[in-house]
Amino acid sequence: MLIFRSSRNGLCNLHRTYWLRPMAWSIHPPASLAWTSFYSHGTWNSTYSRRHRLLVAAGAGLGIGTIFAYGDYRRRAAEMEPSESTPGSPFPVFTRQEVSRHHTEANRVWVTYGSDVFDVTDFLDLHPGGKSKILLAAGGALEPFWALYAMHNQEHVLEILRGYKVGELSPEEPPQPTPGDPYAEDPPRHPALKVNTLKPFNAEPPSELIAENYLTPNQLFFKRNHLPVPVVDPAAYRLCVQNHNGRMLSLSLQDLKRKFSKHEVIATLQCAGNRRAEMNALKNTNRLGWDIGAISTACWGGVRLRDVLIHAGYKPSDEGHVCFEGLDRDPSGTVYGASIPFKKAISVEGDVLLAYEMNGEELPRDHGFPLRVVVPGVVGARHVKWLAQITVGPEESKSHWQRRDYKGFGPSVTWDTVDFSKAPAIQEMPVQSAITEPSPNTSVTPGELTVKGYAWSGGGQSIIRVDVSLDGGKTWHEAELLGEKQLPGQAWAWKLWQLKTSVPPGTKELNIICKTVDTNYNEQGDSVAPIWNILGVLNNAWHRVRVHVDEE
């Protein structure tokens, strides 16, 4: 039972895997990983040729695995000599733009690897990880996905891929940044992310990938930026902490790492706007239309906020609010800010961190490099990134995002009647769950079906049950829960879940619903309308996914 342990005792294990598929355990996957388990899933049988089996190996990974080594892959891809890109090559040359048009079966599905272009349309249905997963790369580069699913890193996989080669990429100039663009210095992002807005960058992982990993790979972790990503020199970086006498302490990264012991916490972050798309569909809030992916889980490493506060002279019996300011600022100089109750900040069980690591890596720029707040069990908006300053006072942060956003109102409140002082700032969040597979409006076939998803509750409440219905709520089945066991009241991370069921022949449609229950026996409500609100936050209605059942 790993919940919170110091770095002396061991690091978070990034290689946790929970599904029955074979897993990639390292950048060099052990050859012994049981191929037979693929066959035991009934998708493939031993009469297939060796070539087909290798194709399975190549494709299966898109639905598998945990390790993330995108940078390493990019380097290797750059080093790879394209097999036939020599002068006098028989292959035509395409621009990336031309390749990008081939992202549907109707138009043929192309992908690139290094400087080669491949038409993988005929491979789609051979992909044991599901067509939907390989289609994530359609019209673009394979590298980011193969980096995610490390088992592709084998010579015979590349050999098979070459059989689908249809062309080569023309040398292109990298796109030039717009002069004066405040977002020009934003970091590169993973192409699998579903982008809500580019500037500021707000994006989420595709549904099918959400429940593939208990710890979300950093590059797939949902990004929720309010402002441009600041450029921070870690050597010059200083955290300002107001001490008990009102003076400012200045702490370098080295100070933080030397003066305080390191702690790790596995915690799920969720944006208050997760699943806003369903609210927008009912009545548009004109705010970011998050699907079900504005939620992710990581193992955060850093120092306890409690330790820093005590170092600054505060006592556990003090009261008030701990206010945070980020380095991200708009052109007028306004910085992002938020606060949490002092009681949560100082509590040993509260597990609030100033994190400099995420899943064992240096905190990525999109997630607050070099230092961010992590407030387990609490809405994402309080986990201030690029942390510049900590103050303690009798009042909540005066920031817009604390006082005039991230609050919950009743469905009858309008922009004409809203009184922001009447609702408390969202801190701990209500119970939540969603279906990540199958995707809405896709097709399944009669026979075996695995429904997957996630479930989480705020305030450290454990998830005790997930109920799944296939018939619109008439009957319910209990799903299998997967994930770390955490301490009561400190269950900061989600549970992944799956229901293995079968679709009877003759079924035309499935109306899949999930709902979950936490330790306090709070449940999700049936529908969106009664909790719809002008800010489009806190949508935790039952998640519903309709899928067609194909005749076989």
Q: What is the dihedral of CA 357, 360, 365, 369, to 10 degrees?
A: 20
**Residue 318 near its own copies by CB under 8 A:** no
Half-sphere exposure of 329 (CA within 13 A, CB side): 11
**Binding of residue 527 to its own copies (CB under 8 A):** yes
The sheet with strand 543-549 has its strands ordered as: 443-444, 543-549, 509-518, 463-469, 477-478
Residue type, 297: T
Q: Does 114 bind its own copies (CB under 8 A)?
A: no
Only one of the segments 45-53, 219-227, 295-303, 525-533 lies at the binding site for its own copies (rule: CB under 8 A); that segment is 525-533
- Per the annotation, the verdict on 224 as an active-site residue is yes
Q: Which stretch binds its own copies (CB under 8 A): 25-33, 61-69, 228-236, 462-470?
A: 462-470
- Closest distance to its own copies from the beta carbon of 308 (Å): 23
Phi and psi, residue 327, nearest 5° = -85, -10
Decide: 236 and 164 in contact? Cβ < 8 Å: no
Of these, 313, 341, 364, 440, which contacts its own copies (CB under 8 A)?
341
Contact 469, 543 (CB under 8 A): no
Instruction: Check if 127 is active-site.
Output: yes
State the minimum distance, in angstroms, from the CB of residue 490 to its own copies.
Answer: 11
Q: How far is the CB of 476 from its own copies (least distance, A)?
A: 5
Residue 431, interface with its own copies (CB under 8 A)?
yes
As a whole number of Å, the end-to-end CA separation of the chain is 44
Binder to its own copies among 71, 362, 530, 550 (CB under 8 A)?
A: 530
Spell out where 271-423 has E strands: 295-304, 321-329, 335-341, 353-358, 361-362, 372-374, 387-393
**Does 428 engage in binding with its own copies (CB under 8 A)?**
yes
310 scored as a contact of its own copies (CB under 8 A): no
- Among the listed residues 178, 526, 548, 550, the single contact to its own copies using CB under 8 A: 526
Segment contacting its own copies by CB under 8 A, of 105-113, 153-161, 281-289, 512-520: 512-520
Q: Is 191 in the site for its own copies (CB under 8 A)?
A: no
Long-range contacts of 409-416 (CB under 8 A, 24+ apart): 409/533, 409/534, 409/535, 410/533, 411/529, 411/530, 411/531, 411/532, 411/533, 413/533, 413/534, 414/534, 415/534
Interface residue with its own copies among 96, 162, 194, 465 (CB under 8 A) is 465
d(Cα 289, Cα 280) in Å, to the nearest integer?
7
Residue 423 as a binder of its own copies (CB under 8 A): the answer is yes
Stretch that binds its own copies, among 14-22, 123-131, 447-455, 468-476 (CB under 8 A): 468-476
CA-CA-CA-CA torsion for 322, 327, 329, 331, nearest 10 degrees?
Answer: 140
Among 191, 360, 393, 525, indicate the residue that binds its own copies (CB under 8 A): 525
Clarify whether 406 is annotated catalytic.
yes
Whether the upstream peptide bond of residue 200 has omega within 30° of 0, thus cis, is yes
Report in angstroms how near the CB of residue 478 gets to its own copies at its nearest: 6
Out of 12, 103, 271, 514, pick the active-site residue.
271
Q: Pick from 203, 229, 256, 538: which binds its own copies (CB under 8 A)?
A: 538
Q: Are 302 and 353 in contact (CB under 8 A)?
A: yes
Pairing mode of beta strands 238-242, 387-393:
parallel
Q: Residue 67 or 482: which CB sits closer to its own copies?
A: 482
Q: Count of CB atoms within 10 A of residue 166's CB?
A: 16
Which listed range, 84-92, 176-184, 195-203, 457-465, lies at the site for its own copies (CB under 8 A)? 457-465
Using alpha carbons only, give the angle 365, 388, 255 rounded to the nearest 5 degrees.
Answer: 90
Min dist. Cβ of residue 387 to its own copies (A): 24
Please name which of 325, 340, 327, 333 lies closest in space to residue 390, comparing C-alpha atoms: 325
- 226, burial (CB in 10 Å: exposed 0-12, middle 13-18, buried 19+): middle
The interface with its own copies within residues 485-504 (CB under 8 A) comprises: 488-489
Taking CB under 8 A as the rule, does residue 268 contact its own copies?
Answer: no
Size of interface with its own copies, in residues (CB under 8 A)? 42
CB of 409 to its own copies, least distance (A): 8
| Residue 377 φ/ψ region, left for φ over 0, alpha for ψ in the -120 to 50 degree band, beta for the rest | left
Catalytically annotated residues: 127, 152, 224, 271, 406
Which residues here bind its own copies, judged by CB under 8 A? Answer: 341, 343, 408, 410-413, 423-424, 426-431, 458-459, 464-465, 467, 473, 475-478, 488-489, 515, 517, 519-527, 529-531, 538
